[in-house]
Every structure is written in C-alpha cells, then in structure tokens.
Structure 1
C-alpha cells in the first residue's frame, strides 16, 4: 500500500526512539522469551522450483539467516546442498530457475564475490549449475546492481531477469526508503528493466527502455517476444498506473501497449494489472486485473487480450473467489490458485473466447504457501502433471510439498522444521453474514484452552486492504498468532475489501475506509462471542499497515476495545497524501486526489475525531517506512499524549515497512505482547 517524505524524521527519531527503546519496555513475562526463542528456530523456505521434466526439485532454505540452495529428487530424496558455498550460512545463494532441458539450474550467488553491493553486502552474480555433472557452477555474468525473477526463454537460449543497475536498495516499496535528500523525484531515481544473458554466458543487455520501470514479465512461446507490466519512473509510485506492453526480446525493439487500464473502458478502468501470461499458442495474453493495494499482493479477475492488442475481456466476471495466480495448461484451459473463504485452492478452468469456467477444485491448502515467485505461485512440471511449493499452517511449520496433480493435496517431501510444534491453540474458520455480505475470519484458541474459563481476545486486521489472512506458521516479528500462546483468543478477520469472496467484495470499501469493514469485524466478534467464552470487557485490537490504520481509526468509532497496538498506521489521510511518495495507489480507492475531494479523505481520518479515543495505544513504526510514513505515527501519538490517553511510540531506526533486523523483529513483538498483558490482564 503506502511512502514518506521525512525531512524532520531523522532528527525526531534520534530524539525519541532511543528513549523509547531504553525506557518503555515492561518487565518481560518469561513465557514471552520462551515463545520468541521458539519462533526464532523456524528455517524459512523462500523458493521452490520443480524441473520441467518433473524429476528434480530445488528449493532455497535459510540457515543462520542466509539463503542456500538444496537439490533433490522430485520426492525429496537424495537432498544435498549445491552452489558455491562450502558450508551453509556463510553466504547467500537464491533465485533458482530451471532451464527447459531440466539439466541446468541458474541462480544468484555472492559466495565468490569481493565487490560491494546494496547496503554494503557482497554483490551477487549469475551462475549456472549442470545438475548432471560434477563440475562447479559456471559464472554466467558479472552484475552491478539488484537482480531477481530469473526466467529462461522457452528455447533455452536466453536467461532474462529484472535488473536495477547500480541499485542502492531492494526494488520494492516494502524496503527501507532512500533518504529524502537532493531534488526529490528527480535525483537518485533507480529503474528496474528486463535484462538478458546468453545461455552460455556473455554480455548483459538491458532490453526495455530506460525510462520505463518493469514490475513483471513473461516470455512468449516463440522466445522472440516478452510481455511485461511497466510504468514511468519512479517505480515505487507508479505501479498503480502501469500498462501491459509487448515487445521484441532485443535492445531497442519497438514496443506496443496491449492494455492501458487508465484509458480502457469497462470494469478494468482505473484498476491494476499483474501476472501477464502468454497462451501456449501465443495468440493472447491473460493477466489478473482488479483493485489491488500493493504490487505483489495479487487478486482480481482473469482477463484476456489478443497478443496483437485490442479490448481486454473479463473471463471470470461475477465469480465469488479471488484468483491470485494462474498458468495456462492449453489454449483452452488454466490452472488457477485462488483465495476462497480465507483458504487457497487450486482449481481447473476451461477457457472460451470470452469466458473461463471453473471445472473442479483439485485441492484446498490447509495453510498458506507458494513457490516464492508470486503470491500463491506454484511450480509445475512442463506437462503440468506434477506440482511443488512451500507451505505452512498453524499446525505444521514450513516444508516443501510436491506430488502429482489430481491426487489431492500433495505431501511434504522435506522435514526441515519437523521438530517444531505449535505452542498456540487450534485454529478454525468462522463465517458470518453482515449487511448482505458473507464474511470469514480465522479464530485461534488459547493454548491449553479450558471451556469453563473466560478469556481475553485480540482482534487482528490484516494489511492491504486488498489482501487476505490465511493460516500460516508465525515467525519472529510482528503478528497476532503468538498472543494465543499467552492465553488469548486471536481473531483474524477478512472483512469487505479482502480477497476471497469475489471482486465486488474487494471493491466494497472504496471511499469507505474504516466503516463497513469495521462493522464486518465487529459483527464477527459478536459471532465469536456466541461460540466461545470471550470476555467482551477484555478485547484488544491490532494490525499492521492498513491494519495499523484500522487500529488507529476503530477507537474513534467504538469503545469496545480496551487496548490497541497500531503497527505502521495512518492517522490522517489528508496529511498522508502530501507526505507519501506513492500517492498513485490512493486514487483507485478514494476516487480522486485529496486536492479534488478532500472530504472523502477527511471522512476516514482518525485525527479528525481523535478526542473520542480513550484506548491505551502502543504505536510502532520503521523510521524509513516507504509505505506508511513514520510522521503518521508521530501525529497520532502526539494527539493521544496531549489528550492524556496512555500511549507509547517506538520508532525503529533504518527499518522499512518490513523489519529486517532480527533484534528489532523480536523487540516489536515483545513490546506488543507486554502491552496486551498490561491492559488485558489474565
């Protein structure tokens, strides 16, 4: 979603954050330290890639905070580390991509580098491994910047990837923002382009225009063209107005805009596009279009457009699920990974000229997973008979799953985190109806649940708002599930604005932030309280990003919550509009800029009704948050402090929207746990 202009922020953070970090932490409950230690034992699995012939499986797993590559048979047997690292955890290797011959594996590695890259770490380069030989990986190219999304051309002659030459940061609005110095919007602009390398190594070529920022791409079946989603620079800001382009896969090739949502008529007008995918016969390109609040949090309807251009067709209009990822299996069929009632399910669709019809659901995942390439992405063999992905749930820590398609949910083929067991309670889906909408959420029971007792409950609102909460194993860092381990019910809602009930449900909170979605959430709390022994006088509220906004706004509408933790929130949409550097995302949701319709922004701004807030509130944010600027947290904290409402603000130095420093990840969760322990006593 969201990005800041922080001219005074470094000074403010220097004055306030050290005091907060030193003085505001309560005495630590020993259970919290034990929980944090347990969460820290999880080894993250970041990528999974099945070879095109379905015989080999590669995955990227972290050891001591560093990613490394494992290679195994498709059933997980004979697993062994590959790459340049002499021992796990000494350097970083990732970005795996199988060549069409199923023998060669391209990847990124900084293990042999002596050159400095982003943030002072070593510069990764591109390598290729012959998995059938005993030779060391071959050095394909020397890089000077940030590279990701490696993808082979179908003929196996060329490797393409997204590349930011001379990058100083990861190409994402979630990463810590660059300092706001110099001529803003002019100096220091970094451009992500498609780069290519010959399969045998050689000179890198950047094939897309220098003034166009590319977000995603795919190869045409003929290996001669690429389709990509791109917008003018700066890239963090303009994804919300990106177009779909087609061009030849050579430098200086002419390009054509295939779809421009800003000018097209029909339901796609003014919305966002993602995941361009060529049909196997090369005649058309399908993509997902919808109201999306973050690049990478993909959901909407599936559209199709002729590869030569024309009007896009909505293939899935009126469905009551949210497609998030798909792949063609033939010119007349798709496999779609979609969100349905808070769960991911893989479904088969038949495709006609103007309609895609669901035929059957192949399996519903018990948790959340993917292959690391995109939200709910899956890795298939070339014939689509086998699938692989990483998954975790609230019952099982992350593992690699693989198996034949059509035999139900695949089985785990690794035991990387097998010794980890949940310290929180069971989880179950809860569904209710409100104001004509069907709504769903996830309820996590307290650890060691006793039905004869009454318990406090923490309500969590997810970020986005265009997203969905699905059950997954928690890690160190901010999240709601750990509260269950300390004796709370945890209720994670998917109110209107969320994925999982169709595009009309996603768009139901446009120009209405904080109202209908709050009513959905409160109706869900009512439904839960009829089901389990929750003490309505000990309700807490929390969330991050859009959930942080809701945590700031809800106490202006209801006194039902007795404690709040607001992570990276937004207190004032009007001042936010002028502070952030990604204001393009706001117009699809608010209908106009703040200069054209200030009233719609004022309507959802907590600061305008701040005197109604009585709830003790902990506020946490990253000092360089590129989505939810830290001044918003200062504004809310300043108001509460002035009004005498118990509050604490903690600004974490050098952190963006997602925290990377392990010490800060632990600290922010510990503070939240302590806050609820203080104001929602057991």
Structure 2
C-alpha cells in the first residue's frame, strides 16, 4: 500500500538491541516450513519480456541465483540463448530491455563490466546496445553516475530516453528502504528523477526535463520531437498524488506545458491521479488512466483523453465495471486495454473516438497475473499489434514467458524453465458474493491434501492498497498468503470495496471509511466461504501487509471472529501516521482533508482509539526503514497490546524498507508468520 517516505527512528536503538531484532519467536520449527521455503526458493522469476517491433525476436530477463540475465530467442521461444556481457548466468545483473525501432538493436543495462561502486558495494550499471544480427560484443553507450530505469527508443530510432537520478543513492521508489533521516529534512539530500536522452551512437547524456520536477513516467510522441510525462515537484516519494501531465520538446531547457492538472480540474478527475500517458498515432491527443490510486505503479481507473495542447480531459469510459490498468493504441480508432475484471486480468479491444471508448470484445482472460516488467499488467506488442508477449503465473503454474498472435485465445508458454515446479498448496477457486449493493470477488485456496470430511482453520489475507487487487500468482520467498495453504489452512483473499476489478465507483467506495465497509465486505465473504467449505469458525486468522497490515490491526477492534493475527507493515494510528510519514499527499484523496482540517475522519479509522477491544494474539513485523508504513506505527500497536496483556511479538528487520530485499529476511518473516499461526490456529 501507499508509496514512500520515512521518519526519524531513534527509538529503535533504545528499545531493541540489534541482537534482539531477529530473535526467534518460537524455538521449534515445523520441518514442512523449511521444505516449503526451499521449494519457493527454486522459482526463477521472469522480470521482463520484450518482443521486437517486427515480431520476429523475443527477449526476456530471468533470474539465475538471484541475478537477472538476458535471453534472446525467436518469437516462438526457440533457439533461446544468453546474450549480454555476463560470462555465466548469475555472475552479474543485466536488465531494462529496450528494442530499437529497427528490430535489430537491443539496449539494456549491465553492471557486469562496472568498475565503480557506491558505498553499498553496488556497481554502476551502464547502457549497452546489442546488434542481434552481428557476432559482435554489445557496444557501451553511456558513462553514468546514477540510477536508470524505463529505457525507451524514440520512434525514429535516433535517440534513447530513460528516467535518470543523477548521483542517486537509492532506487527511486517508496518501496525501497528510505535514506537515513539526517540533516535538514526535506531540504538536504533530495534526489530528483528526470528524463534523460542519449544518442543511438552513445556519448554524453542530456537531461531534458526541469531539475525542479520529479518525473514518474514518460512517453515519446510519434514525431520523436516531443515527450509527455507525469511529474510533480520533489521529493518524488511524496508528490506523485499531486502530479500533472506535461508536454515538452525532447531537448534540454525546452519550455513545457501542463496539459492536465487534476488539482485544478472540476469533474470526476478532480484531486485524483494520472498515469500511463499514451500519444494517439497522429500525435494530436494523449490518452491516460485517471482514478483513485493509492500506489504509484499500481495503476487503475478510467481511460481519459486530452488534446496534446491541453484542455478539458474526456472520461472515455465512465461507468464501466472493470478497471483498466494498462493500454496501448492499436490504431487511431482502437485501443488494446489490459484490465482487471473480477480478480482476473483480461485483454480487451475498445473502439475509441475523441469522447468515448466502448469495449468491443475480450481477446482473452488470463488465468493469472501477467506483465512485461514495464508496468503492472504491461504487455509487449509488435509494432503492428498482431503479436504479444508477456510473463504469466498463477496459483497452479510457476512463471513462464508467453507469446503468440493477438486473437481470441491466450498465447501459449514459450519457455519451460520452471516447468518442474508443482504447487504444494491446494487448488484455487474464485468466490463471488453480494453485500450492501456491491458485487464482490475473492480467491479461495483449499488446504493441501484437502479432505472434505474434516474441518479446517482459515486465514484471511487482505491485500495492500487499498487501491489494488488480488490476482492469481505463483508465490516467492517472502511474505504472502499462498504458503499457508501448504500447511493445512484454507486461505481466503478477498477484493472488497476499494479494490480494482469492479469499476471506479467500487474503488472509491471506501473513501473516508477505511476499515468499515471493506471489513463488512470481507466478513460477508467469510460467511460465503463458510457456506461452501468446512471452515472452523473458531479457528479464523487474519493477516496482510501495508493496507492489509492496517486492516489486521483494525479488524480486531471491531470483531472478535479472528483468533490470531499477523500484521505486516501496518498502520495503527492514522493521526500520528500523518505526521510521521513523508507521503502525506496520498492521504487527502482518501480522507478528504488533511488531519489538521478534519482530525475526526482519521480518528474514526485508527485502531489505537479502540485498542482495549483487542484480545487477539498478534505478531507484528516491519522494516526498520519502511518509507510507506513507518516502524513507529508498529511500535505503537505492539506497546498497547503488551500493556493490555494481549499476547504479542514485534520484529523489526534492519535496513529493510516496505518491500524486503534481503533473502534472509524474506525467509525469516514468512517462517515467523507460519509458526505464529501454527501456534494459535493449529491444523488438526
């Protein structure tokens, strides 16, 4: 959930000695847990997929021994081989694929030949270009000093653009561990991400967007002379929620025009977020997704269109009951939209004019999460949009690369590097129910080795966001709900109001109402599940991360149905949270005002204000340098439970942010959660 920031944490050193940070919660470890963790560690993640513009070649990035490497193959996956500078898979890191329009040159980032390292020992990646039709080594194009992502060639192939943080000390993402909060806060050490360009022949880069503007994403115009981009004043972690859509010439010191400013608009887009800008084929208009989004990067909303010169945006898809997350222009009159519908990603074709977009047909519904690595639900198309490629996984199938023609069927897998992995958890089922006028969907995992004659405990997992959705996916080592099924639990993963997949009205239904309507939806879903399968009502558990961590803290103040809780990176007190974090901009669209203007709406959803109602044993876990859900929120909840005599444990993971990157910590946090539920909700 959320995205960004950080606060002072001097209390950590005083309250917890370093040796206590990772002290064992329980001394005994179920051997099945170690076996499960070992299985999860075998998956090779597909980070990126890129189809050449002519549709003849396919490249992807796959992890080997935790390091990303590049594979190149024919479009059908045949003749796959490693390319790049790595002498062997897993030796160094290569990623960030970008095909040139000529379908011959493939740009990428590599730190395999890096001779510079930052204070953390990370080597500086450089940009290389591989000629896929010549037996020559990749040519180095850059001499960088900073972080690079989102490389994209201009349509004429003469220039390569990318997002660049000069002198960056961390990845430009609120999921990353925050910088130490020292010096003059908000003034010193601010890092700005800008659009930079580089000639196809290499040389010195030029930063083209203003130094006082943090850019989150951009797109080339068809004429290769202009760019559109979403940006806000720095710090970037905080201000995505008030960003604007700009257009300017793709050259340094060019003037720019704000073509969409949601903060000054009237109508449905007022005060909301914009993302995924896409130029129309003739360059006259820019389409984008606008809506209530709690995370930069997890896009969802309606599709809008605005003249490239500015004006009032048109909502092209008002009232739809799906959530567009990514799209591309197929022609001047049609869009290909990857959208979430009832917990599933589906690719649909829309007819479009200046004021409306109408779904014509669904090309395919994927059985699990899809993506090309560029964005949530991003897809890689050939230039004529007749071929598509992406990575996909589900609860049943580990990640593979899929590619094939665009039509009325899901493309087939063209790789098999995870083919030997089989789920050790139970089967998955979509569950749907109605509550208070809303249609709601969720996912149910059966226990491994399910016996319908037995009664089972069930763990309810609430997703982050709240603007997000649970879609089928293969789990990795780290915190997640799927592994609980392997140990004999039903696992229920609802998509209550506030989630993507039922339209924008559904997404906005929990504004100023955190923890109430969405909790009622979740409990109604539990009731629906209990009517279907033999769940033991007296052995219900609750867990979640981020917004799900908040719900795991708040729900026990409203109901006693849950008998054990694991709260990951949660929020216990929205009022103190507002002043502790540096991402307060995200809160106003959801709460309607700042905490200083309307403290009551924040108090209403703060677990700490109802803490004496909590009786549930609760494990609390959080990263020491979490920029989205600062650790003091977990301290506050833990301190209250300990004072009230409620069984509790708090584990703070050193140097971790909102997303854990250290493999040791990824394994530890999952193991602790599994142990906690086994203690308080033992399967029989």
Partner deviation per Cα, 1:252-304 (whole Å, 9 max, x = no partner): 01100000000011100000000000000101000000000010010000000
Hey, what's the Cα distance between the residues in 2 that align with 1:25 and 1:309? 60
Hey, what's the Cα distance between the residues in 1 that align with 2:61 and 2:119? 21
Residue 355 of structure 1: how far off its partner (Å): 0.5
Hey, what's the Cα distance between the residues in 2 that align with 1:603 and 1:615? 21
Structure 1 match to 2:157 = 156
Q: How does 1:142-221 map to 2 (within 5 A)?
A: 142-221=143-222
Q: Residue 120 of structure 1: SS of its match in structure 2? A: coil
Hey, what's the Cα distance between the residues in 2 that align with 1:80 and 1:449? 41
Q: Residue 102 of structure 1: SS of its match in structure 2? A: coil
Contact 1:61–1:68 (8 Å) recurs in 2: yes
Contact 1:432–1:438 (8 Å) recurs in 2: yes
Deviates more, 1:524-533 or 1:118-127: 118-127
Contact 1:117–1:144 (8 Å) recurs in 2: no
Hey, what's the Cα distance between the residues in 2 that align with 1:10 and 1:247? 46
Hey, what's the Cα distance between the residues in 2 that align with 1:376 and 1:661? 26
Residue 361 of structure 1: how far off its partner (Å): 0.2
Q: Residue 70 of structure 1: SS of its match in structure 2? A: strand
Hey, what's the Cα distance between the residues in 1 that align with 2:287 and 2:19? 50
- Divergent runs of 4+, >6 A: none
Partner deviation per Cα, 1:210-247 (whole Å, 9 max, x = no partner): 01000000000000000000000000000000000000
1:507 aligns with 2:501: no
Distance change >3 Å, CA 465–CA 12, structure 1 → 2: farther
Q: Residue 21 of structure 1: SS of its match in structure 2? A: coil
1:665 aligns with 2:630: no
Structure 2 length-normalised TM: 0.99
Structure 1 match to 2:10 = 8
Q: How does 1:310-459 map to 2 (within 5 A)?
A: 310-459=311-460
RMSD: 0.8
Structure 1 match to 2:559 = 558
Structure 1 match to 2:274 = 273
Hey, what's the Cα distance between the residues in 2 that align with 1:128 and 1:5? 41
Partner deviation per Cα, 1:616-657 (whole Å, 9 max, x = no partner): 000000000010000000000000000000000000000000
Contact 1:17–1:652 (8 Å) recurs in 2: no
1:646 aligns with 2:636: no
Contact 2:444–2:493 (8 Å) recurs in 1: yes
Contact 2:362–2:408 (8 Å) recurs in 1: no
Contact 1:291–1:300 (8 Å) recurs in 2: yes
Structure 2 match to 1:128 = 129
Hey, what's the Cα distance between the residues in 2 that align with 1:16 and 1:27? 23
Q: Residue 640 of structure 1: SS of its match in structure 2? A: helix
Contact 2:21–2:654 (8 Å) recurs in 1: no
Residue 25 of structure 1: how far off its partner (Å): 2.9
Structure 1 match to 2:60 = 59
Residue 99 of structure 1: how far off its partner (Å): 0.1
Q: Residue 565 of structure 1: SS of its match in structure 2? A: strand
Hey, what's the Cα distance between the residues in 2 that align with 1:172 and 1:356? 32
Hey, what's the Cα distance between the residues in 2 that align with 1:463 and 1:44? 21
Structure 1 match to 2:489 = 488
Deviates more, 1:139-148 or 1:15-24: 15-24
Contact 2:305–2:315 (8 Å) recurs in 1: yes
Hey, what's the Cα distance between the residues in 1 that align with 2:617 and 2:326? 40
Structure 2 match to 1:584 = 585
Q: Residue 337 of structure 1: SS of its match in structure 2? A: strand
Hey, what's the Cα distance between the residues in 1 that align with 2:556 and 2:333? 51
Residue 23 of structure 1: how far off its partner (Å): 4.0
Hey, what's the Cα distance between the residues in 1 that align with 2:484 and 2:472? 15
Structure 2 match to 1:119 = 120
1:608 aligns with 2:609: yes
Q: Residue 59 of structure 2: SS of its match in structure 1? A: strand
Q: Residue 359 of structure 2: SS of its match in structure 1? A: strand
Mark the runs of 5 or more structure 1 residues left unpaired by the alignment: none
Distance change >3 Å, CA 17–CA 604, structure 1 → 2: farther
Q: Residue 244 of structure 1: SS of its match in structure 2? A: strand
Structure 1 length-normalised TM: 0.99
